[in-house]
């Protein structure tokens, strides 16, 4: 019998243009993911702290300004909010959920 708790959880969004892999960390649940070039909007249920792992992510929080984040830079999104992302090419990130 397969042990599903022992496999990495894989999620796919936006017809496969954004995909993520889940992990448990000392800082709680997290995902690492990749986004292809494109424009995306995500909703949050918890606070999300996102660090760019590779590439560039242009981010706009609600009522915020567009801000560019590059490798190792991070931003925080409030719970029960939305944010827009524009990627001009592939980007990778890690997201921690609080």
Per CB under 8 A, does 65 bind a second copy? no
Per CB under 8 A, does 24 bind a second copy? yes
Instruction: Quote the tokens at residue 16.
Output: 């496969």
In this structure, are strands 82-87 and 91-97 parallel, antiparallel, or unpaired?
unpaired
Per DSSP (E only), the strands in 28-81 are: 28-35, 38-43, 48-54, 57-61, 67-69, 74-77
Distance from C-alpha of 69 to C-alpha of 56, rounded to nearest angstrom: 6
Q: Which of 39, 41, 54, 67 is close enough to bind a second copy by CB under 8 A?
A: 54
Per CB under 8 A, does 18 bind a second copy? yes
Per CB under 8 A, does 74 bind a second copy? no
Per CB under 8 A, does 1 bind a second copy? no
* Residue numbers at the binding site for a second copy (CB under 8 A): 2, 6-8, 10, 12, 15-26, 30, 32-37, 53-55, 89-92, 94
């Amino acid at each position: 019998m397969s042990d599903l708790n022992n496999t990495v959880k894989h999620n796919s969004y936006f017809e496969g243009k954004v995909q993520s892999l889940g992990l448990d960390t000392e800082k709680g649940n997290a995902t690492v993911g990749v986004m292809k070039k494109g424009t995306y909007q995500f909703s949050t249920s918890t606070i999300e702290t996102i660090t760019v792992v590779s590439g560039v992510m242009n981010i706009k929080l609600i009522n915020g300004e567009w801000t560019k984040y590059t490798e190792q830079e991070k931003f925080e999104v409030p719970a029960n909010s939305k944010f827009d992302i524009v990627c001009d090419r592939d980007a990778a990130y890690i997201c921690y959920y609080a």
